[in-house]
Structure 1
Amino acid sequence: MVYRPITQFLSGAVVPRLARCLLCGESAGDSGLCAACCAGLPFLHGACARCALPLAGAAGSCAHCLQHPPSFASASAAWHYAFPIGQLVQRFKYHRDLTAGHSLARLAALHIEPQAERPDLLVPVPLHWRRYWRRGYNQAQLIAAEFAHQWQIPVANRLLRKRRASETQQQLKRAQRLRNLQRSFAVHGTVDGLHIGLVDDVITTGATLEAAARALLDAGARRISAFALARTP
């Protein structure tokens, strides 16, 4: 099977399909969703500043992050992983719906753009080459490309590598995920003193971000900030 190049994610081949809302079929703007559907999305307003876990009331740090601070300094997600975001992410991630991914990444970039300390570099969470070969693209890399375009921050797609194929993470708890991901990332390049923006599609337990952030910090990065489309409860 021949896969389309990643650059087509941002090309005119995808954009014409955005004229109709992905959810209701009505006229849509550049985001791919009409105003009514966009307004109904489950935006994440109150969340832990460290891991983006949804919190009731004022934002702060969740109990887990207070007791066990993650290696990444902050995390931001645009939405709760709930209807219809979950369904759009699934279409993007597993069914090659690059239009859904393009729309989600463009909308998310508007809502989680870093305002204070902006990263020096964006780095997508990598896939192991076997999974990349089967899927044909890395969804985190496509999201990072749109964030980089919107935020005018350079992106390094090959700086972080997945050197060990880990088992699927979907049914594992956080401690199991951490063990599964132990020493699975490697840094190929210089990150000394840099603030890295680590990009993924969904934050579930934070275990993947923890393992990737730890590898970057061990390689000399100064600070890691995480950015994702959505966060699970």
Structure 2
Amino acid sequence: MLRLFRQLLERSLSRCLLCGSGDQVHAGICAPCQRDLPIIHHACDQCALPLENISDRTCPQCLQYPPPQSRSRASWNYAYPVAQLIQRFKYRRDFAAGRTLAELTAETIGRQLRAEAPPDLLVPVPLHWRKQLSRGYNQAQLIADILGRHWQIPVDHRTLRKVAHTGSQQQLRRSQRLKNLARSFAASSRVAGLHIGLVDDVITTGATVEAAAQSLLRAGASQVSVYALARTP
């Protein structure tokens, strides 16, 4: 069954997921469509928020309230068509869309890793067991597995747990998300002394990855870097 699933997935990636073309297709996206993806050209080092001024390295929010992670990287703005592909992956079991975005992100962020100290271990942002049971999978774990394979970095999905069910956070402001997420994650002491790469699908306000990063640092991680497919502008 697993072999058949992989064969079907490979077949679905032979044509462009966006326009259906079979020409110049790489990781499920043709070259013209890939050029149209809303890539982030310049962003805040600490939270990955897109910045207009090329000379700025940090956004005003991070200057005033530095997040616990040492850096954050995301490939695209959360906008058309990336937002639609992520939603298909996250809520409609479109694993081809998820694999495409993860593989392209592995290449995009992988180029930056050559100039940075890579993490020792990749850890996906976990779902609470109730949400994972209802959804059937954790999209961040699937992304982390692909990044780990490309970057040759081990992945551990048991190191970090979601211990409190916080419900949907999509409509909440940053302050409300931070309040809801405080102490909602628990990390294993196995992270002690390690540089952890925390993986998620989208950085929205940053509250989720900050809460998860704080948990990893409390457990002894030397530093935390965040990697995501997309960032909301």
Fold conserved between structures, TM > 0.5: yes
Structure 1 residue aligned with 2:19, among 20, 24, 27? 24
Q: Partner of 1:82 in structure 2?
A: 79
What's the offset of the Cα at 1:174? 0.6
Deviations along 1:157-186, whole A, 9 cap, x unmatched?
A: 111000111021000011100111111101
Equivalent residue runs for 1:1-233 within 5 Å: 11-27=6-22, 29-58=25-54, 59-113=56-110, 114-115=113-114, 116-233=116-233
Alignment RMSD (CA, Å):
1.6
In 1, Cα distance between the equivalents of 2:97 and 2:206?
Answer: 24
CA shift for structure 1 position 188: 2.8
| Residue correspondences, number | 228
> In 1, distance between residues paired with 2:182 and 2:123?
19
- Deviation of 1:141 after TM superposition, in Å, equals 0.3
User: Distance between the aligned counterparts of 2:68 and 2:4, measured in 1?
Assistant: 34
Instruction: Give the distance between the partners of 1:8 and 1:125, measured in 2 at CA.
Output: 28
Q: Partners in 2 of 1:160 and 1:96 — Cα distance?
A: 24
User: What are structure 2's unaligned runs of at least 5 residues?
Assistant: none
Indicate conservation of the 8 Å contact 1:167/1:180, yes or no. no
Residue-by-residue CA offset, 1:88-111 (whole Å, 9 max, x unaligned): 000000010000000000001111
TM-score, scaled to structure 1: 0.94
- Measure how far apart 1:13 and its partner are: 3.5
Q: 2:42 and 2:26 mapped to 1: Cα distance?
A: 27
User: What's the TM-score once normalised by structure 2's chain length?
Assistant: 0.94
Q: Which runs of 4+ in 1 moved over 6 A?
A: none
Once structures 1 and 2 are overlaid, which stretch shifts more, 29-38 or 88-97?
29-38
Determine if contact 1:121/1:197 at 8 Å carries over to the other structure: yes
Cα distance in 2 for residues equivalent to 1:210 and 1:13: 37
Question: What percentage of residue pairs aligned between the two structures are identical?
Answer: 56
User: What is the one-letter code of the residue matched to 1:25?
Assistant: G
The C-alpha deviation readout for 1:179-207, integer Å capped at 9, x for no partner, is 11111101134111100000000000100
